[in-house]
Structure 1
């Protein structure tokens, strides 16, 4: 009569594990990391609890199984969170690469459409601090606006203005190298 609860619990366990499921029509997916961790933790905790508690192995197995299941679920949840974070970072990297590729394509289209207007050179007054001997030339863009010419300026124009990886990133002009 003492074995009746064990037999009954075994029958219930087997009928729930291997019995017909109402979700058989749905696609069968694998176990989640939380479920795997809980099952592994509960099984190993039950075995260790029964081994440790020699006076009452059933109580030791139950307590060990509950504690092992909780710890296993926590470990599985941690693993699942790491996988989700990796997937989120990979999706963000793919989106950034797609934006970068689209930006490059738009630049290529804009450069293909854009016609380059020839610059015309006109004589201009030479500043006193210019190192160029002879007549200096001033460059003009397509709209007729003067474009600063490097040899006529006291300072060189800074092409890397705003780029912190270059020197003089906060100044529109950089100092002459001489």
Structure 2
């Protein structure tokens, strides 16, 4: 139940509701359901892609895992990388597009946004919920989010919504 146009699909590839346009999916990749591979993308050997993932003009290295609900655009991703759910590469600033580079064996935590142009080094990690705007060196952990703040009794002080009695 997939749509493939002007693309090269390798051997032993599993596609479940995948749309692939002018791209390449290499041997042993497992993709879907509901994956979109846009022109200029190359998906490496043994890559695993979950549901609701989109690739645009990106190269994904061998044996990388891209969980569900992720957008990777204008990116060069190394081998053995793990993307948690809900990640995105922000590649457009309103005037021009820039590339994101992710090194080998990097770990991109859930809900990370990589704001291009940015590089994540080999074996580097990003913490869940981070917005990464500066390069992350090899073997480093980047945490880019506000410290949690708890507002005690906040709910008691606000006006109730109309559906609350």
TM-score scaled to structure 1, two decimals?
A: 0.19
Max Rg structure: 1
Structure with higher strand content: 2
TM-score scaled to structure 2, two decimals?
A: 0.20
